[in-house]
Amino acid sequence: MYKATLPNGWFLAVKRLQNDSEQCESQFIAELLALSRLRHENLNPLLGFCIERNEKFLVYKYMSNGNLHDWLYPVEGDNKVLEWPLRVKIAIGIAKGLPNISNFGNSIISNHGGAMFVYPNDNDSGLLVNSGVWESDFVKKDVYNYGNVLLELITGRKTISSSSCSSIHVILQELFDHLPNSSASSLLNDIIDKSLSGIGINGEILQFLKIASDCVQPFPYQRPTMLDVYKRISSFGERYGIKSDPRI
């Protein structure tokens, strides 16, 4: 991700994608055209994209407050701490944005008899993605990635990869199996971010971990939908003055 400065002084965030030879250019453009129509307060708007030979770039609005990584992993000497209520707000905000992506896809699917019309051309035809593909390749992947972010918010550690998925399941399963024994409390303190330890929120953290664990199940069909995740996670918002979105 790069910070770009335009001649007029405006800032943009430019994301450089890794080359994916398996994804054809027309499919890439189709997905971007569909997603570029999304506008929501919890989604950073996609302003444009560029394809030049094997290079692909996405252009987003620049967010001046920094990213989650900067807050979770401050540089040495920086004393800023991401408090638990703000972590809850971030988790709810991300979840709210992702169900809107899911609902957006489902609405297109329903309007086209079980297929998503994603790439109109001059002949008024296009590529079709059926509902199964949307659910497994798009929606469930977002659920998995969301689970990763949730784990990072709780543990203060880098997100897990698919190769380490089994190990995190072993750790979480051991934690849940030992509840409510004292050994579970010790294990929980070893897992969570040190700034969250001993402040009386272990019950909430365990519920967040359960949601995260469900999201990073190894097979897509084992994971909940993003809408289900949002409903579960948004219930925590009332304690911190965050209202759920009745439109979802």
Beta bridge mates, 58: 15, 49
Q: C-alpha distances in angstroms, 50 versus 42, 118, 194, 217? A: 24, 18, 42, 34
Asked whether 205 and 63 are in contact (CB, 8 A), the reply is: no
pLDDT for the residue numbered 216: 85
Name the helix (H) or strand (E) containing 11: strand 11-17
Q: Which domains does the chain have, with CATH numbers?
A: 1-64 (3.30.200.20), 74-240 (1.10.510.10)
Per-residue confidence (pLDDT) for residue 139, from 0 to 100: 56
Instruction: Compute the distance between CA of residue 234 and CA of residue 243 in angstroms, rounded to an integer.
Output: 8
Q: What is the pLDDT of residue 112?
A: 45
Q: Which string of DSSP letters, residue by residue, matches 110-145?
A: HHTTTEEE----TTS---EEEHHHIIIIIIHHHHHH
CA-nearest of 101, 119, 140 to 29 is 119
Query: Given this model, what pLDDT does residue 114 score?
Result: 46
Output the pTM of the full model: 0.69
Ordered per-residue pLDDT tens for the chain, 248 residues: 888 999 999 899 998 877 655 556 666 676 677 666 666 666 677 888 888 877 888 888 888 777 777 778 767 767 778 899 999 999 998 898 888 765 544 444 444 444 444 444 444 444 444 445 445 555 577 888 899 899 889 988 775 554 455 566 667 777 777 666 666 677 788 888 888 988 889 889 989 999 998 988 888 888 898 889 999 999 988 888 888 777 76
Which of 33, 40, 16, 157 minimizes the C-alpha distance to 94?
A: 40
Q: Is 198 left (phi over 0), alpha (psi -120 to 50) or beta?
A: left
